[in-house]
A = this chain, B = another copy of it.
Amino acid sequence: MKNIAASITISAIAATGVEAQEERRRIAPAAVYDVAPGLGHFTDEVLFGEVWERKELAPRDRSLVTVSAIVSTGKTAQIAAHVGAALDNGLKPAEIGELITQLAFYSGWPNAISAVEETKKVFDARQIGAVGNSEDARMELEATAEAARKAIVDTTVAPTAAVLSDLTNRVLFGDLWRRPDLSARDRSLVTMSALIAIGQPEQLPFHANRAMDNGLTAAETSEVLSHIAFYAGWPRAMSAVPVLKHVFEKRKE
C-alpha cells in the first residue's frame, strides 16, 4: 500500500505537503478535507485504511478492478493516478495497454482513446517506451464453451443484427479474446469489473463464469464487489449482487 499511497499522492495530487507526513498518513489531498471533511475521513479511514489493505484480493487485482472501473465509466481525471498505482502494484505496461484495448470493446472507443492519452503521460513520465504486441502464441478458448457462446450469438443476435453478430464472433472472440497480451483470467476480471461499473449486469453471468473458469475464486469475485462499490458507487455494486448470487449457486450445483 505504501506504493499506492505514494504514487497517488505524489504523481496525481499535487502538494499534499505536510499532511502526508502527519502521524496518520493522509492520502486524500488537502482540498478534500477543506471542502468535504467527511469525504477525507472515509477516504483515509475506510477506502485506503481498510479496503485496499484487505488481503482477500491482491493489490494487483485491486488495481486491475479500479482502473477498469475508472476507464469504463470515463473518469478521465482519475486515470493517471491509478495507472501509476497499477504499475507500482505489478501490472506491466503491456497489460495496461491491453486492458484499455479490452475496454474499447466493452465500454466504447471514446473511453479507450481518453485512457490512452492519460496513460501515455504516465508512461512518458516513467520513461516507459512503446509497448509491443506479445510474441506468445494466441490463447485457445475452451472449445465447448466457445461453441455454446457462438451458438447463442448466432441464434439470438444474428437474425436482428447480422453484422454485430459477425463482429462478435470474428473480431471479439476470434481475435481480441485470444490475444496473449493479457491472461484469460485478467481479461475476464477486467470485463466483469466494467460490466458492474457501467451498470450492465445482463452480460455479467457469462463473464463472471468465464473469470472463475479461468482461476478467479468466488471469494475474490465477492471482494471485487466491495472494492468496486467505492469506485463506481454503491448502487452499481448492489445491483450486481443478485446476479452474482445466481452465478455462485449455479456453479455449486
User: Using a CB–CB distance below 8 Å, which chain A residues touch chain B?
Assistant: 31-39, 41-43, 46-47, 51, 54, 56, 69-70, 72-78, 93, 96-98, 100-101, 104-114, 116-117, 119-120, 123, 129-133, 156-157, 159-164, 167-168, 171-172, 175-176, 179, 181, 195, 197-200, 202-203, 222-223, 225-226, 229-239, 241-242, 244-245, 248
CB of B202 within 8 A of CB of A239, answer yes
- Which residues in B have their C-beta under 8 angstroms from that of A34? 120, 123, 129-131
Count copies of this chain in the complex: 3
Considering only CB atoms, which chain B residue lies closest to A118 in the complex? B35
**Contacts A/B (CB < 8 Å), 14 sampled:** A34-B123, A35-B93, A35-B131, A37-B133, A38-B181, A41-B133, A46-B167, A51-B167, A75-B108, A106-B235, A161-B244, A163-B226, A200-B235, A200-B236
Q: A116-B36, A156-B242 are in contact. Are A54 and B163 (CB under 8 A)?
A: yes
CB of A235 within 8 A of CB of B116, answer no
A87 nearest CB across to chain B (Å): 12
CB of B35 within 8 A of CB of A164, answer no
- Which residues in B have their C-beta under 8 angstroms from that of A43? 109
CB of A161 within 8 A of CB of B239, answer no
By Cβ-Cβ distance, the 8 closest A-B pairs, closest first, are A75-B110, A38-B101, A36-B97, A163-B226, A200-B235, A108-B233, A164-B226, A34-B130
- Which residues in B have their C-beta under 8 angstroms from that of A230? 104, 108-109
CB of B202 within 8 A of CB of A241, answer no
CB of A110 within 8 A of CB of B37, answer no
- Which residues in B have their C-beta under 8 angstroms from that of A37? 97, 130-133
CB of B161 within 8 A of CB of A225, answer yes
A221 nearest CB across to chain B (Å): 9
Inter-chain CA distance A110–B198, complex, in Å, is: 14
Q: A38-B176, A160-B222 are in contact. Are A229 and B98 (CB under 8 A)?
A: no
Q: A36-B98, A112-B39, A200-B235 are in contact. Are A159 and B78 (CB under 8 A)?
A: no
- Which residues in B have their C-beta under 8 angstroms from that of A51? 167
Considering only CB atoms, which chain B residue lies closest to A237 in the complex? B164
CB of A168 within 8 A of CB of B234, answer yes
- Which residues in B have their C-beta under 8 angstroms from that of A104? 39, 42, 230
Inter-chain CA distance A156–B107, complex, in Å, is: 29
